[in-house]
């Protein structure tokens, strides 16, 4: 058994701590020569990656008031009010149609924990992440963003990442390129 204290790799006792001291000075000198890591935030805007979870934007046209987001929200910070509206028949003797109208859509960012579950569960892509983060308020009640404010965030949503090569086309493009349905006159 060899005593590890006498292994040959141990630095010589004569030099002792001197190499360590010099190394410390060399490291600090090297850091002095390099640019600093400081992000000068209020003066220089940060370069945030596109998937940054800054704030949630609402595309009101896509929302069907299905309430999935509100029900999945772990801390129930989404408020949705809606009512049904009856649309008169467009043709003589036709059926009246009903549609949902969104009265209120609000996210309370003082409760939100930015888990993104609402965005994941939305079947119609009505909710989007945006990297904007400068919406601090002096009054906590102002962190409740109503749908008009949530809609304003839409302008800051970054474009979706490009598809992989040879992947299937996006569903929207497939749908847009489908030939139109036969005109109703043909059946008459």
Partner 1 sequence: MNPGLELTLRLVIVLAAFVVMSLVVGQTEHKVMAHMQGRLGPMYAGGYHGWAQLVADAVKFLQKEDITPAAADRRVFHIAPGVALAPYLVAFAVIPISSTWVGADVPASALFVLAAGAVGILGVLMAGWSSANKYALLGGIRAAAQLLSYELPMVLAVSSVALAAGSVSLTGIVDAWSPIWLLWQLPGAIVFLIAAVAELKRTPFDMPVAEPEIVMGPLTEYTGLRFAFFMLSEYAGIVVMSLLFTVLFLGGWHGPFSDALGPLWTLLKSAFVSVLIIWLRVAWPRLREDQLQRLAWLVLVPLALAQLALTAVWVVLSSQ
Q: Interface with partner 1 by CB under 8 A: which residues? A: 21, 24-25, 27-29, 31-32, 34, 36-38, 40
Structure tokens at 36: 């600093």
Structure tokens at 76: 């129930």
Q: How far apart are CA 14 and CA 12, in angstroms?
A: 5
Q: Which is nearer to partner 1, 27 or 152 (CB)?
A: 27
Minimal distance in Å, beta carbon 20 to partner 1?
Answer: 9
Other C-beta atoms closer than 10 Å to the C-beta of 79 total 15
Q: Which is nearer to partner 1, 22 or 67 (CB)?
A: 22
Q: Which is nearer to partner 1, 44 or 176 (CB)?
A: 44
Q: Edge-to-edge, what's the strand order for the sheet holding 78-87? A: 78-87, 97-108, 144-145
Question: What are the start-end ranges of the H helices in 16-106?
Answer: 18-33, 68-72
Minimal distance in Å, beta carbon 4 to partner 1?
Answer: 25
Q: Which is nearer to partner 1, 39 or 89 (CB)?
A: 39
Structure tokens at 57: 């934007």
């Amino acid at each position: 058994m060899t005593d590890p204290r006498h292994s040959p790799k141990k630095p010589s006792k004569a030099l002792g701590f001197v190499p360590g001291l010099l190394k410390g000075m060399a490291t600090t000198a090297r850091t002095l020569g390099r640019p600093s890591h400081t992000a000068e935030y209020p003066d220089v805007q940060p370069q945030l990656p596109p998937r940054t979870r800054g704030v949630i934007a609402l595309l009101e046209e896509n929302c069907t008031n299905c309430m999935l987001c509100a029900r999945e929200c772990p801390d129930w910070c989404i408020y949705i009010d809606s009512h049904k509206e009856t649309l008169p028949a467009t043709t003589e003797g036709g059926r009246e149609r009903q549609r949902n109208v969104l009265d209120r859509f609000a996210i309370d960012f003082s409760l939100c924990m930015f888990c993104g579950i609402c965005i994941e569960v939305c079947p119609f892509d009505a909710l989007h992440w945006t990297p904007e983060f400068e919406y601090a308020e002096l009054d906590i009640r102002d962190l409740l963003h109503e749908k008009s404010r949530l809609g304003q965030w839409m302008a800051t949503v970054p474009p979706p990442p490009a598809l992989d090569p040879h992947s299937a086309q996006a569903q929207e493009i497939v749908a847009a390129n489908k030939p139109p349905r036969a005109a109703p006159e043909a059946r008459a």
